[in-house]
Amino acid sequence: LKAMRNVIEKMKDLDSTLTIQANMGGELTLKVQTDLVSIATFYRNLEHPQLEGKQNVLGSDIVATAKVDVKKFWKALYSYQVAPSNVICCIVENTALVLHALLDDLFITYYIPILA
């Protein structure tokens, strides 16, 4: 998370909107775009958590996209300071981006609304 936060820190100086794309195949893309420049960072081979007793029936090519305020996302990445054991990113189409920072005996949830 700390490395991702450093990347987002640079992106937030370029534009106020961050586009996040993720798929079921463990790929995540973070992107800012202006009239002059487009910058994206790619994360691959991420684990996709499965609910107990449930099997993933969606293909890895299904992509979810969210546009959020880059500064709100950047602030949520402060969760690296509590050393979470895992972080789960959920994109609720047309509604919100939800980050769950999992700790040993609890979790912290960040709710970031989607920009229209």
Which tens digit of pLDDT belongs to each residue from 2-50? 889 899 999 999 999 999 999 988 999 999 999 999 999 999 999 877 7
- Confirm if 24 and 90 have CB atoms less than 8 A apart: no
Q: Which pLDDT does position 33 carry in this prediction?
A: 95
- Report d(CA 37, CA 112) in Å as an integer: 25
pLDDT exceeds cutoff 70 at 51: no
pLDDT exceeds cutoff 90 at 83: no
Angle 47-49-55 from CA coordinates, rounded to 5°? 120
Q: Which residues pair with 17 in a beta bridge?
A: 69
